[in-house]
Amino acid sequence: MSLRLYDTAARDVRDFTPLRAGEASIYLCGATVQGVPHIGHVRSGIAFDVLRRWLAHRGYDVLFLRNVTDIDDKILSKAADAGRPWWEWAATHERAFADAYRALGVLAPSAEPRATGFITQMVTYMQRLIDRGHAYCADGNVYFDVRSLPDYGALSGHRLDDVHQGESAGTGKRDDRDFTLWKAAKPGEPSWPTPWGDGRPGWHLECSAMATSLLGGEFDIHCGGMDLIFPHHENEIAQAHGAGDGFAAYWLHNGWVTMGGEKMSKSLGNVVSIPAMLQRVRAVELRYYLGSAHYRSMIEYSEGALHDAAAAYRRVESFVQRVVSRVGEVSVGDLPDDFVAALDDDLGVPAAIAVLHNTVRVGNTALESGDTVGALVAAASVRAMAGILGVDPLDPQWVSVGDDSPAIEALDVLVRAELDRRATARADKDYATADAVRDRLAQAGVEVTDTPDGAQWNLKGRN
> Which of 236, 254, 272 corresponds to the end of one domain?
254
Per-residue model confidence (pLDDT) at position 403: 42
266 lies in some domain: no
Per-residue model confidence (pLDDT) at position 434: 85
Same domain? For 152 and 287 the reply is: no
Per-residue model confidence (pLDDT) at position 272: 82
Backbone φ, ψ for residue 61 (5° rounding): -85, 110
Please report, for the domain that includes residue 203, its CATH number: 3.40.50.620
Phi-psi domain of 59 (left: phi exceeds 0; alpha: psi -120 through 50; beta: other): left
Same domain? For 159 and 24 the reply is: yes
Per-residue model confidence (pLDDT) at position 458: 72
User: What is the bridge-based pairing of β-strands 23-28 and 12-15?
Assistant: unpaired
49 lies in some domain: yes
pLDDT in tens, the chain (463 residues): 699 999 999 999 999 999 999 999 999 999 999 999 999 999 999 999 999 999 999 999 999 999 999 999 999 999 999 999 999 999 999 999 999 999 999 999 999 999 999 999 999 999 999 999 999 999 999 999 999 999 999 999 999 988 999 887 788 999 999 999 999 999 999 999 999 999 999 999 999 999 999 999 999 999 999 999 999 999 999 999 999 999 999 999 999 999 877 777 766 566 788 998 998 899 999 999 999 999 999 999 999 999 999 999 999 999 999 999 999 899 999 999 999 999 999 999 999 999 999 999 999 999 999 999 999 999 999 999 999 999 999 999 998 544 444 455 557 667 877 887 898 888 888 889 988 988 899 888 888 877 655 677 777 655 4
Domain that holds residue 79: 4-254
445 lies in some domain: yes
276 lies in some domain: no
Same domain? For 238 and 299 the reply is: no
Same domain? For 297 and 232 the reply is: no
Rounded (5°) CA angle 315-382-289: 50
Same domain? For 31 and 173 the reply is: yes
CA distance 438 to 422: 8
> Which of 254, 269, 298 corresponds to the end of one domain?
254
273 lies in some domain: no
CA distance 6 to 14: 6
CA distance 312 to 402: 19
C-alpha distances out from residue 211 to 48, 223, 283, 364, Å: 17, 12, 30, 47
- The secondary structure of 77-89 as a DSSP string is HHHHHHT--HHHH
pTM (predicted TM-score): 0.86
Same domain? For 80 and 171 the reply is: yes
Same domain? For 229 and 304 the reply is: no
Same domain? For 242 and 288 the reply is: no
274 lies in some domain: no
How does 75-112 read in b/e, with b if 16+ C-beta sit within 10 Å? bbebbeeeeeebeebbeebbebbbebbebbbbbebeeb
Same domain? For 160 and 213 the reply is: yes
Query: What does DSSP assign to residue 361?
Result: H
Per-residue model confidence (pLDDT) at position 1: 64
CB 77 within 8 A of CB 83: no
* Alpha helices for 132-227 (secondary structure H): 203-215
272 lies in some domain: no
Number of domains in the chain: 2
Same domain? For 325 and 227 the reply is: no
Per-residue model confidence (pLDDT) at position 419: 84
How does 258-297 read in b/e, with b if 16+ C-beta sit within 10 Å? bbeeebbebeeebbbbbeebbeebbbbbbbbbbbbbbbee
201 lies in some domain: yes
Same domain? For 166 and 206 the reply is: yes
> What is the CB neighbour count within 10 angstroms for residue 450?
13
Same domain? For 96 and 244 the reply is: yes
